[in-house]
């Protein structure tokens, strides 16, 4: 808002009407988010762009037609690109192969892939490409065939004469809306105030890629916003043009002295020095950091990854440890929500751009017994999640609900009795044995079998080594893996004793600083 005041001041007719005088000193909170992430984001004051309404609906109709016409080309093109990736991957497997006996098989696979690539390309070339897409640059361009087909479909003659001259631009924006910009990832549809009527009406709201927050009031330029409104069958709000603009970086560079605070600026120290001539000083934390960071786990497919995340959430939730899961988009947060509900019936909260108004109340309960919160990268900056105090009665009720405790378990039982009763309850499902067998087996033998089963799932050692490890060695190894918890089950008096808040990051960001956040 300081930046917009500056822009409005520049549009005033006299100095007396201006609200800002001099820019002496600024202290910026979350300084890396403002001065680095949003540095090139322009602050824009806009005005009406057109005297007459452009033909957005026609462009949308033509874009839908071209997308349908290009379906066969795109289907084969995806196979071509996958084949190219497989060739690169197989070449890497051959270079890195430790087992020399596997190389002939890999070489045969590589030869088959290279022979298949020209066939796929030839099959693709039998179909017409009406437009080209550059996803990295978020752009779409019509080919000559695309222009010709659109002109035929529109029946208006050439697009490059007279009043038709704006159609190619509108059509390319409509194509971007349909093939590049995704609902619940790049934008959401939610009620916002209509500046013309003052009423709350559904509209396209941009989602900030850095914070995951809905940016109400911001618009994409050059007709893209209107193209997405038509795509979503919403009322088209008038396009605007820039009257005054300045980037956030240039605005803050006008201050004589600049400073700020954040928890994650150290990785960008060089950039702060080069652009703003600011030094970064690291201040030690008031208390030692007790967070335990686990190693990354890499999966061969998206399905394997998300299935594993769901099972990890379940294992922590069953014990009662609250879980916070970070996702990168509204779409993925809602997909994970559906998986948790359908697979395990786990109650949870989803915090994304759609629920931004409930953020405070959702986060307030995130540290309670068994709480599960799925969040986009909007949540957490400056948020203090309080970890709850617990009673044995609360723990017992939760364990009974999750089906890991037998009905005869009492709050008066010792930790040893607790573990034995729980282990005998879950053994039939975990080990694939009969209930009678689980009830009769000596507890030490049953516990060792369960520890081996849990250890084999974590894949930190081969089966032969696991078989040779003692119960104490297996417990220690499971402690270090950090991904299973039943082996240390006991009565506790707080979530802190239970293990604290478990945080799962579903993806790495290209910026180490964003990961730190």
Look at residue 300 in the predicted model and tell me its pLDDT. 83
Q: Does domain 302-389+502-516 have CATH number 3.30.70.2740?
A: no
Look at residue 314 in the predicted model and tell me its pLDDT. 92
Residue 183: strand pairing partners:
187
Determine which of 132-136, 421-425, 463-467 has the lowest per-residue pLDDT on average.
463-467
Look at residue 49 in the predicted model and tell me its pLDDT. 57
Look at residue 380 in the predicted model and tell me its pLDDT. 46
Q: Tens digit of pLDDT for each residue in 381-411?
A: 556 788 999 999 999 999 999 999 999 999 9
Q: Mind giving me the DSSP string for 6-72?
A: HHHHHT-SSGGG-S-----EEEEETHHIIIIITTTPEEEEEEE--SS---HHHHHHHHHHHHHHTHH
Residue 190: strand pairing partners:
203
The kind and range of the H/E element at 502 are strand 502-505
Q: pLDDT confidence of 213, banded at 50, 70, 90?
A: confident
Mean pLDDT of 168-173: 94
Q: pLDDT confidence of 33, banded at 50, 70, 90?
A: confident
Q: Is the pLDDT of residue 334 over 50?
A: yes
Q: pLDDT confidence of 379, banded at 50, 70, 90?
A: very low
Mean pLDDT score of the chain: 87
Q: 265: buried, middle or exposed (CB in 10 Å: 19+, 13-18, 0-12)?
A: buried
φ and ψ at residue 52, rounded to 5 degrees: -115, 155
Q: Tens digit of pLDDT for each residue in 217-254?
A: 888 888 899 999 999 999 888 776 677 889 999 999 99
Look at residue 436 in the predicted model and tell me its pLDDT. 92
Q: Is the pLDDT of residue 175 over 90?
A: yes
> What is the pTM (predicted TM-score) of this model?
0.66
Determine which of 13-17, 387-391, 427-431 has the lowest per-residue pLDDT on average.
13-17
Inter-CA distances, 308 with 346, 444, 457, 483, 508, Å: 15, 29, 11, 11, 16
C-alpha 37/C-alpha 248 separation (Å) is: 10
Q: Give ranges for CATH 3.40.50.300 in the chain.
A: 302-389+502-516
Residue 139: strand pairing partners:
134
SS3 state at 504: strand
How is residue 246 written in tokens? 């300045």
Q: Is the pLDDT of residue 64 over 80?
A: yes
């Amino acid at each position: 808002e300081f930046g917009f005041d500056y822009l409005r001041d520049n549009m005033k007719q006299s100095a007396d009407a201006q609200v800002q005088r001099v820019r002496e000193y600024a202290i910026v909170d979350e300084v890396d988010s403002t001065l680095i992430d949003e540095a090139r984001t322009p602050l824009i004051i806009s005005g009406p762009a057109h005297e007459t309404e452009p033909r957005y609906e026609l462009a949308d109709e033509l874009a839908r037609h071209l997308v349908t016409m290009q379906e066969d080309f795109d289907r084969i093109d995806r196979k071509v690109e996958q084949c190219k990736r497989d060739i690169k991957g197989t070449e890497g497997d051959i270079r890195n192969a430790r087992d020399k006996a596997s190389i002939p098989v890999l070489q045969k696979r590589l030869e088959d892939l290279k022979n298949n690539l020209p066939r796929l390309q030839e099959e693709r070339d039998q179909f017409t490409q009406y437009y080209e897409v550059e996803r990295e640059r978020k752009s779409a361009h019509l080919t000559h065939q695309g222009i010709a087909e659109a002109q035929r479909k529109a029946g208006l003659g050439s697009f490059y004469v007279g009043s038709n001259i704006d159609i190619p631009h509108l059509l390319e924006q409509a194509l971007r809306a349909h093939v590049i910009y995704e609902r619940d990832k790049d934008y959401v549809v939610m009620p916002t105030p209509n500046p013309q009527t003052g009423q709350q009406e559904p509209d396209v709201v941009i989602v900030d890629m850095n914070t995951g927050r809905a940016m109400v009031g911001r618009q994409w330029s050059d007709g893209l916003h209107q193209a997405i409104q038509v795509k979503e069958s919403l009322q088209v709000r008038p396009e605007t043009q820039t009257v005054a603009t300045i980037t956030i970086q240039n605005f803050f560079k006008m201050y004589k002295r600049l400073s700020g605070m954040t928890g994650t600026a150290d990785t960008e120290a060089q950039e702060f020095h080069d652009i703003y001539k600011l030094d970064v000083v690291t201040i030690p934390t008031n208390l030692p950091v007790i967070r335990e960071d686990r190693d990354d786990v890499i999966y061969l497919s998206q399905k394997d990854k998300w299935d594993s995340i769901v099972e990890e959430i379940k294992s922590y939730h069953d014990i009662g440890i609250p879980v916070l899961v970070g996702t990168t988009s509204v779409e993925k947060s809602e997909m994970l929500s559906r998986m948790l509900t359908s697979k395990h019936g786990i109650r949870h909260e989803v915090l994304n751009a759609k629920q931004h108004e409930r953020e405070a109340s959702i986060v307030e309960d995130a540290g309670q017994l068994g709480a599960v919160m799925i969040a986009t990268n909007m949540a957490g900056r400056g948020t203090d999640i309080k970890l709850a105090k617990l009673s044995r009665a609360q723990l017992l009720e939760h364990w009974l609900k999750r089906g890991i405790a037998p009905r005869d378990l009492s709050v008066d039982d010792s930790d040893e009795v607790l573990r034995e009763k729980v282990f005998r309850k879950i053994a039939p499902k975990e080990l694939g044995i009969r209930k009678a067998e689980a009830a009769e087996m000596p507890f030490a033998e049953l516990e060792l079998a369960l520890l081996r089963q849990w250890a084999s799932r974590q894949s930190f050692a081969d089966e032969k080594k696991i078989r040779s490890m003692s119960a104490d060695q297996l417990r220690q190894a499971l402690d270090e893996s950090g991904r299973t918890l039943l082996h240390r089950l006991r009565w506790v008096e707080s979530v802190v004793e239970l293990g604290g808040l478990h945080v799962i990051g579903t993806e790495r960001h290209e910026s180490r600083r964003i990961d730190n956040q």
